[in-house]
Structure 1
């Protein structure tokens, strides 16, 4: 007898748990792809490397805004990428208080090696999205709903009503 799947049984009430589980599943399989191909790569690097490959350079703030993640997440990825010698940070010529992050030669070489793999990721993700009935459209709606009112505000409103 199999144990009950809590997040499925709880439905929308467990949306956070369900999204974490799906994210862990996708990230785990992504890590397995890189490992199977003998490529030293951390999934958390993808957004930063991809944006640097597209735009040439960016600040932590620009990357955080574009990727819609925290400055702390971008900074952690930057530090890890710098340690792996895939990016370097240099003072922004327009504002010395800011640092521009850019790919090193090793970073550019890795991105070039990863392009066909990332294309396969894109194709697999599109296939998965279609098979799941365009879950991305639902995620966009969830994103929009949270932009209108955060889960924090929704919870605090309910607690305040008691």
Structure 2
């Protein structure tokens, strides 16, 4: 029997992307668990940015990751609850607050660096096997920035 979501093509684009994301996240969770690392996949972007760049504001993190401020704030709260990050006054402007890795966060990053390199290698190979799908995703991202799905649906309804 043919995959219903795949058969729908572009009509089920969101469902297909969610399914692929869920499969990738589940495998990533298993890879962390196999290494004995307690890790939530949603932490990666923020942890990686903080490890590379040092303390950052939530707004700067959102801009760097291309995601919403509320999404970064939620991740920050989760990282704080896990003891991996902390919010401190900005060293250059005491009115602003920045997120930084805690000692436990630095230790986690150090412990995961080898696994993150393995993820990079595996993801690159997967992308190549799939025909460089990241290039197509970049085009999709740009198309949505030029004109949202909502605008496209409204126009289609008017036709």
TM-score by length of 2: 0.96
Q: Which residue of 1 aligns with 2:17?
A: 19
Q: Following the alignment from structure 1 to structure 2, what is the Cα–Cα distance between the partners of residues 92 and 18?
A: 41
Segments of 5+ residues of structure 2 without an aligned counterpart are: none
Q: Following the alignment from structure 2 to structure 1, what is the Cα–Cα distance between the partners of residues 135 and 81?
A: 37
Q: Which residue of 2 aligns with 1:112?
A: 110
- Indicate the structure with greater strand content: 1
RMSD of aligned alpha carbons: 1.2
Task: Give the CA deviation at 1:93.
Answer: 3.6
Q: Following the alignment from structure 1 to structure 2, what is the Cα–Cα distance between the partners of residues 106 and 17?
A: 36
Q: Which residue of 1 aligns with 2:38?
A: 40
Equivalenced residue count is 159
Q: Following the alignment from structure 1 to structure 2, what is the Cα–Cα distance between the partners of residues 105 and 142?
A: 39
Q: Which residue of 2 aligns with 1:146?
A: 144
Q: Which residue of 2 aligns with 1:29?
A: 27
Task: Give the CA deviation at 1:95.
Answer: 3.8
1:60-99 paired onto structure 2 within 5 Å: 60-99=58-97
Q: Which residue of 2 aligns with 1:124?
A: 122
SS of 1:58's partner is coil
Q: Following the alignment from structure 1 to structure 2, what is the Cα–Cα distance between the partners of residues 11 and 88?
A: 43
Q: Which residue of 2 aligns with 1:101?
A: 99
Task: Give the CA deviation at 1:90.
Answer: 0.7
Q: Which residue of 2 aligns with 1:135?
A: 133
Q: Following the alignment from structure 1 to structure 2, what is the Cα–Cα distance between the partners of residues 76 and 141?
A: 28
Q: Following the alignment from structure 1 to structure 2, what is the Cα–Cα distance between the partners of residues 122 and 135?
A: 15
Q: Which residue of 2 aligns with 1:8?
A: 6
SS of 2:98's partner is strand
